[in-house]
Structure 1
Amino acid sequence: MTFKVLYDSQDKDFKKPFGAVRQKEKIEFRIKTNELCDIKLITNSILGFESFHLDYLLKEKNYYNYFIEFDTSKYLGPIYYYFEINHNGKTYYYTNNDDVIGGIGKLDFKEPDFYNSIDKTLERKPELFYQVYIYDIKNKVPEWFKTGITYHIFVDRFNDEYSTLEDVDKDLADVYGGNLKGIIKKLDYLKDLGVDIIYLSPIFEAEGHHKYNIGDYEKISSDFGDMDIFKQLISEIKKRDMYIILDGVFNHSGSNSKYFNKDAKYDSLGAYQSKDSKYYSWYKFIDYPDKYECWDNIDTLPEYDQENKQLQDYLFDRENSIVKKWLNLGIDGWRLDAADLLSDNYLTSIYKNIKEINPNSIIIGELWNDASTFIRKEEKKIKTYMCGNKIESVTNYPLHGLIINYSKGDFTPKTFCKKIYSLIENFPIEYYYALWNFTGTHDIPRILTILNDDVNVLKIYAVLLMTLPGVPMIYYGDEVGLKGGDDPDNRRPFPWNNMNMDIYNHFKEIIAIRNNFDAFKKGSIHFIEDDNFLIYERKYEDETFYIVLNNTPNKVFNINLISDNIKLKDIQTEQIYDASNNKFKLKKLAYKILKKEKT
């Protein structure tokens, strides 16, 4: 007889509850075999590797059931696990599947290797390990953020107060002249689009156009305006019931900052100039003064010593700290640049201080990988970002890649569904609904360029972005078809005189649909498996919607969702589908958003 093992991390018959688990809640693991054996649960977590014996429970339908009730009280963050099975003198390992997406796994003779299976440069989930995330979320994510739509403005390239930036003929690495007054002039444009959250690239004093090389956290860059103009921006945003998030660059400063002052551009005594500088201990000098640790080996971006108490006091701990100052001036949250480089203590303190000033503010981390599975291989350290005391949302690069692959036809509907379920399984649900799902960012090529300038594919991308769980974020200009390759080409000025109105109208319509129905902001999600079409249900209270998308050649689809007492209405065309009219044709790259009608 062939030895068989059954386990499915996404089936409550094998693991209960589904997905992430609140700390101190018990997890019930159950595994089934067709022959008697000995089974251990092998885990790796913030406590290191551990082994737990499963008890034999009962025999049911020719399968032996083994069970363990796992106490999560000591854990936070991801617990990685697999099963070690001894049967007839042989040792087997039941692990995650080769795609590492949870669900049904595989039986193997080879024990999975935790750290050696992680890429040397990118932090990602170790191959073949299952995962369950343990969290202790005491503060709910602010409702205004979870239900809102964000617009990411790269300030220098959006708009100035006098003329459109596209009229300026400059190199893309240069300063174009976008400013805060220009943003004020376009707030009504954003409100009309359906946006209610504005996220700005760094606005503090710094050289160049991007301002990630901070010069002085206490001042607005003169390129963008001054404190009076900033206060006017805050006032105008609040008048429109909108919110604003600033970019917090707390991993490093510029070398020509008042803190480091390499070229003596400030009157202050900088860390580079003297060991007697009050800022000297903020930095990590290797061979003073010219050799020091810096971000991405760029010597104009010296990194901070994050454990330095004086630095922490200045940035976020003391009463008049940088973080608190700008919150008190009226901002609604911080996006933390390079959050993967911020230490646990640093992040915890930032979170604590922000919430003390405004419990209804948001803390977002810039992460390029799945935030629920971050591991530093070189440190052999499991990172615990989404536990409830560090950050509440992250840039959702994994979903960005999934939507691109589906929209371009590289993924089948079933593959897309499985990969989305894996994300849902890994994240605490409170944070999953707050993930920042974006069209693009200032670090990657423009979405239309990625999609080979195919407007129809971009429209499919927009539908998915606005109807899947999470907080949509539009990178300025994506809604009007702005193109661009790698940095700096992805930072072209907004084409105010050459907007693609077809793309704009599509974005505006899909944004309105999301804004008008809570099912898309708060509703549960359920995928209906189909070989040809992507179909999912969003449901909240008495609202039920079905989103149907086609990235395949033309086919006629029979709406199997309909029975005698169900009617569906296309909310864009208002056409009704019922038992007598249950077919429609979806062309390639077409979609329908159907609302279940009350009968």
Structure 2
Amino acid sequence: MIHNASIEKYRTPVGAVEKGEEVILRLFGLPEKTSHVEIVFYAEDFHREYKMKQKKDLFEQTICMPEKCCVVWYYFRIWEGDHNYYYGARPGQSQGEGIVVSENPFSFQITVYENGFDTPRWMPKGIMYQIFPDRFCQGNQKNLKRGEEYHKNMGRTVYIHEDWEERPLFGPLPGHEFYDPCDYFGGDLEGIISKLDDLKKLGVTCIYLNPIGEAASNHRYNTSDYKKVDPFLGTNEDFERLCKLAKERGMRVILDGVYSHTGDDSVYFNKKGNYPEKGAWQGPQSPYYDWYTFDQDGNYDSWWGFQSLPEVNEMNLKFINFIINGRDSVIKHWISLGAFGFRLDVADELPDEFIFEMRKELKAQEKDYALIGEVWEDVTTKESYGVKRKYALGNGMDSTMNYPFKVHVVNYLLGSQNAYAMQEFLLGQQCNYPKPFYYAVMNLLSSHDIPRIRTTFASGMNETLPSREKQIEYVITSEMDKRGGRLSRLAMAMQFFVPGIPSIYYGDEYGMHGFMDPFNRGTFYENNKEIYEELLFLTGIRKRERALQTGYALYFAVNENILAMVRFIVGKKDVFGEKAENKAFLMLINPTNQKETIKFDLKTREEGIPHEVHQKLMDYLSATEIEAQIEAFDYQIVKLK
């Protein structure tokens, strides 16, 4: 008995579908004594059962998907007279081949998304570079002096590093009880401008900046003024010039949008009285009072209990107008200066309706503006605050930070999961994510919120990390660093071969080290030039080859160790039906310490792509049998035709 939700023989079409679309489900190989079969089909607000039709050696049923965006689930109930049992997904999976169980079956997933949903085509064709502004490059030392003076006049604690190579502050300053991210190195917008030609050489087409608005910290997630560049970084005019010069070099600039909370020391809350206008702390007479929630004793809701981060009511009409819809709203303000979109901080803590409204306004301005969300889990099945999120189904975000990709790549390369598990993950995202979303997803290996990838591999640690105190004392030996570089090379190869927009965290192109915040936010330095040369090769082939941008993707495990990925265009059209040159590339990954000799036939591999496309690929290739030898800790890219 078999149903494989990732192969068109069993489910037509495979993958996510638009609302109202018909899907044919088939179950093969049932025992002769089977009397009838039912599909149990359900979603958040409905539960239906369909009797399947028998056709020779299979049972089949066509189901029309709901006329609304949602995630639906299904499994099969098989009857033999009065006795029944089930066929469902394997534990931990929602695609691929299922199993027979006597009770409590797991379900297969179908993602139903908005008709006509699309994402900016420059995203799958591009390469992103993420910058933590204070730590990237100092372009004008006057900004450091100006920022220090401005913030000290506000009564804020400021610590200026004298040496660019010092370690970031990681504990309380002398005389202070708690750690405060108040240390600055002087990286600024002028510094980023000075590096634009270097970024262009690296192949970068999109720069994502961590927050640049005025704030009382170096990370700036505690916003003080949504419309003003922090004095440490420069001026609004500097930002406008950055966007203009980046555009001349074929690069777009994306900003970090922090809209679930503000700082308490801000124009809007003004708890410390630093601003002339009355903030919410001053009472109901403030124009911003309704943004926040106070009780009768004057206590207020705050983000995760941090009193320095008063939480906003995102659906307050005044707040929505200020951030999104107003004539000079925050998003329109930055777009007018050259920003090309936003990454939404803690997107799963923003109401879907807020994100929908932002998308609507952004796309009304320019359909190619990007809206990216910070979500750490599967974006189609994410549930937060008791609500199943729908921001990835066509009315919300274009893309998300693909943290699950990083987790699985690291587990695979460190040996804690095999190539079959890696294949299942890649195939799951490919089938569960709406195609336009999947090809725009932000594939990262490091960020400002997780350890740098070279440190992750050098230490052998992924999600479980020592305390900050132990991270301070942790020593990475030369041998560990060698392992970190070797495995980082494989991870980057995978990152640049799968669909989506690969994202380089500043300094990773030179193998920078760093555990968790604040160590992952160190100042830029060139640690290892071999990694840079490797990355130049990967960015080069990614930029040249359309097949690696918007081509079809085929994933499979050759054996327990070796993962294979094929990217291709056939029929002179890519996945979006746009004209493109026929080409096919194969990547093989060997994360073990032994050379591997492999042999397989591509004819037997058809998961996750339409049958007709697989057949066209077989017809296009002059040979489908692959033989190769892969060295230990190595990858190969083979042009199939």
Work out the CA distance in 2 between the residues paired with 1:304 and 1:530: 51
CA distance in 2, matches of 1:317, 1:361: 16
Matched, 1:535 2:564: yes
Q: In structure 2, how many angstroms separate the alpha carbons of the residues matched to 1:218 and 1:421?
A: 42
For the residue of structure 2 that corresponds to 1:293, the secondary structure is coil
Alpha-carbon distance between aligned partners in 2 of 1:273 and 1:192, rounded to the nearest angstrom: 51
Is 103-112 or 265-274 further displaced after alignment?
103-112
The one of 62, 66, 73 aligned to 1:69: 62
In 1, Cα distance between equivalents of 2:364 and 2:66: 26
d(CA) in 1 for partners of 2:336 and 2:544?
A: 32
> By how many angstroms is 1:91 displaced?
4.0
Q: Provide the alpha-carbon RMSD of the alignment.
A: 2.3
CA–CA separation in structure 1 for the residues paired with 2:629 and 2:60: 49
Partner SS, residue 496 of structure 2: helix
Change (3 A) 1:583 1:76: closer
Shift of 1:53: 2.1
Distance 1:42 1:285, change over 3 A: farther
Q: CA deviation at 1:386?
A: 1.7
1:339 to 344, 347, 350: 347
Match of 2:471 in 1: none
Distance change >3 Å, CA 201–CA 506, structure 1 → 2 = same
- Alignment partner of 1:249 out of 249, 258, 270: 258
1:416 aligns with 2:445: no
- Distance, in Å, in 1 between the alignment partners of 2:26 and 2:310 is 51
Separation (CA, whole Å) in 1 of partners of 2:442 and 2:326:
30
Say which SS state the counterpart of residue 354 (structure 1) adopts: helix
* Distance of aligned partners of 1:582 and 1:294 in 2 relative to their CA distance in 1, 3 Å threshold: closer
Which stretch shifts more, 16-25 or 549-558?
Answer: 549-558
Kept after mapping to 1: 8 A contact 2:140/2:188 = no
In the alignment, the residues of structure 2 paired with residue 198 and residue 130 of structure 1 have an alpha-carbon distance, to the nearest angstrom, of: 37
Q: Which runs of 5+ in 1 are unaligned?
A: 113-127, 564-577
Alpha-carbon distance between aligned partners in 2 of 1:224 and 1:470, rounded to the nearest angstrom: 30
Offset at residue 28 of structure 1 (A): 1.3
Q: Is 1:40 aligned to 2:33, yes or no?
A: no
> Hey, what's the Cα distance between the residues in 1 that align with 2:337 and 2:107?
46
2:546 to 518, 523, 530: 518
Following superposition, the deviation at residue 408 of structure 1 comes to: 1.7
- Pick the aligned partner of 1:275 from 263, 284, 289: 284
What is aligned with 2:593? Answer: 553
Q: Kindly tell me: are residues 165 and 147 of structure 1, through their superposed partners in 2, closer, same or farther at Cα, counting changes over 3 Å?
A: farther
- Asked if structure 2 preserves the Cα contact closer than 8 Å seen for 1:176 and 1:209, the reply is no
Residues 54 and 66 in structure 1, CA contact (< 8 A), matched pair in contact too:
no
What's the secondary structure of 1:327's corresponding residue?
helix
CA 1:30–1:341 in 2, change beyond 3 Å: closer, same or farther? same
Deviation at 1:209, TM superposition (A): 0.1
Matched with 1:117 is none
Q: Does 1:224 align with 2:233?
A: yes
Aligned-residue sequence identity (percent) comes to 31
Which moved further from structure 2: 75-84 or 363-372?
75-84
Q: 1:588 aligns with which of 632, 636, 639?
A: 632
Distance in structure 2 (CA, Å) of the matches to 1:109 and 1:528:
30
* In structure 2, C-alpha distance between the alignment counterparts of 1:360 and 1:186, rounded to whole Å: 25
Q: Which moved more, 1:456-465 or 1:318-327?
A: 318-327
- Mapped to 2, the partners of 1:385 and 1:553 lie a distance apart of 42
Report the alpha carbon displacement of residue 409 of structure 1 after superposing the two structures with TM: 2.5
State the 1:559 CA deviation.
5.7
| CA distance in structure 2 between the partners assigned to 1:338 and 1:305 by the alignment | 14
Where do residues 380-399 of structure 1 align in structure 2 (5 Å cutoff)? 381-399=387-405
Residues 69-124 of structure 1: CA distance to partner in whole angstroms, max 9, x if unpaired?
Answer: 21124231211232344443334333221132422222333335xxxxxxxxxxxx
Q: 1:318 and 1:242, CA in 2 relative to 1: closer, same or farther beyond 3 A?
A: same
Q: 2:523: which partner in 1?
A: 493
From 459, 462, 465, the equivalent of 2:495 is 465
Structure 2's unaligned 5+ residue stretches are 142-161, 171-180, 459-480, 570-580, 604-621
Partner of 1:42: helix, strand, or coil?
A: strand
The equivalent position to 1:448 in structure 2, one of 447, 451, 454, is 454
Normalising by structure 1, what TM-score?
0.88
2:16 is aligned to 20
**Cα distance in 2 between the residues matched to 1:101 and 1:55:** 21
CA distance in 2, matches of 1:81, 1:262: 52
Residue 59 of structure 1 corresponds to which residue in structure 2? 56
Contact 2:75 2:89 in 1 (8 A): yes
**Inter-CA distance 294–152: structure 2 relative to 1 (3 Å threshold):** same
Q: 1:169-214: per-residue Cα shift (whole Å, max 9, x none)? A: 6525322211101111111111111111100001111111000111
Which residue of structure 2 lines up, in the alignment, with residue 144 of structure 1? 122
Match of 1:300 among 298, 303, 308: 308
CA distance in 2, matches of 1:288, 1:419: 50
**TM superposition shift of 1:30:** 2.4
Pair 97,139 (structure 1): closer, same or farther in 2 beyond 3 Å: closer
Contact preservation (8 Å) 2:279, 2:286 = yes
Is 1:309 matched up with 2:339? Answer: no
Q: 351, 356, 376: which is aligned to 2:359?
A: 351
| Paired residues for 1:561-576 under 5 Å | none
Letter in structure 1 aligned against 2:503: M
C-alpha change, 1:176 and 1:392, in structure 2 (3 Å) is same
Change (3 A) 1:42 1:230: same
Instruction: Confirm whether residue 97 of structure 1 aligns to residue 113 of structure 2.
Output: no
1:502 matched residue in structure 2: 530
CA displacement, residues 357-415 of structure 1 (integer Å, 9 cap, x when unaligned): 11111111110001011123x52x32112211100100011111111112222232222
CA distance in 2, matches of 1:501, 1:589: 19
